[in-house]
Amino acid sequence: MSDAVVAALRAALGDRVDTAPASLESARADKSGHASDGAARAVVHAASVADVQTVMRIATETRTPVVAQGARTGLAGGANAGPGEIALSLRGMDRILEVRPDDLIAVVEPGILNAALNEALAPQGLWWAPDPASRAISTVGGNIATGAGGLLCAKYGVVRDAVLGLDVVLADGRLLHLGHRSVKGVTGLDLTALFIGSEGTLGIVVGATLKLRRLVPGEVCTIAATFRTVRAAAVGSAAVTAAGIQPAIMELMDAASLAAVHALLALEPPAAGTSQLTVQTDGPAARIEAEAIAAILRDAGGTVVVSHDAAEGERLLAVRRAMHPAMETLGTTLIEDVSVPRSRLPAMFDEIARVEREHGVVIPAVAHAGDGNLHPNFIFEGESVPDRIWAAADDLFRSALRLGGTLTGEHGIGVLKRRWLAEELGDDQWRLQRDIKAVFDPLGILNPGKVFTS
Domain boundaries, the chain: 3-89, 96-214, 220-402, 417-454
Q: Structurally, what CATH architecture does the domain formed by 3-89 represent? A: 2-Layer Sandwich (3.30)
Please list the pLDDT of the chain residue by residue as tens digits (454 residues): 458 999 999 999 999 999 999 999 999 999 887 889 999 999 999 999 999 999 999 999 999 999 999 999 898 889 999 999 999 999 999 999 999 999 999 999 999 999 999 999 999 999 999 988 888 999 999 999 999 988 898 899 999 999 999 999 999 999 999 999 999 999 999 999 999 999 999 999 999 999 999 999 989 999 999 999 999 999 999 999 999 999 999 999 999 999 999 999 999 999 999 999 999 999 999 999 999 999 999 999 999 999 999 899 989 889 988 998 999 899 999 989 999 999 999 999 999 999 999 999 999 999 999 999 999 999 999 878 899 999 999 999 999 999 999 999 899 999 889 999 999 999 999 999 999 999 999 999 999 999 987 5
Cβ–Cβ contacts within 10 Å for residue 39, how many?
22
H helices of 20-65, where? 21-26, 49-62
- Looking at CATH, the fold of the domain delimited by 96-214 is given as 3.30.465
CA dist 277 and 229 (Å) reads 11
Cα 449 to Cα 454: distance, rounded to the nearest angstrom: 9
Residue 1 confidence (pLDDT): 42
From residue 382, give the alpha-carbon distance in Å to each of 126, 138, 373, 378, 386: 45, 26, 27, 12, 9
Q: Report the pLDDT value the prediction gives residue 133, as an integer from 0 to 100.
A: 82
Q: Where are the alpha helices (DSSP H) in 69-172?
A: 114-121, 140-146, 153-156
pTM of the model: 0.92
In contact, 220 and 340? CB cutoff 8 Å: no
CA distances from 245 to 17, 282, 295, 344, 368 (A): 52, 12, 12, 18, 15
CATH class of 220-402: alpha beta
Q: Alpha-carbon distance 305 to 265, whole Å?
A: 21
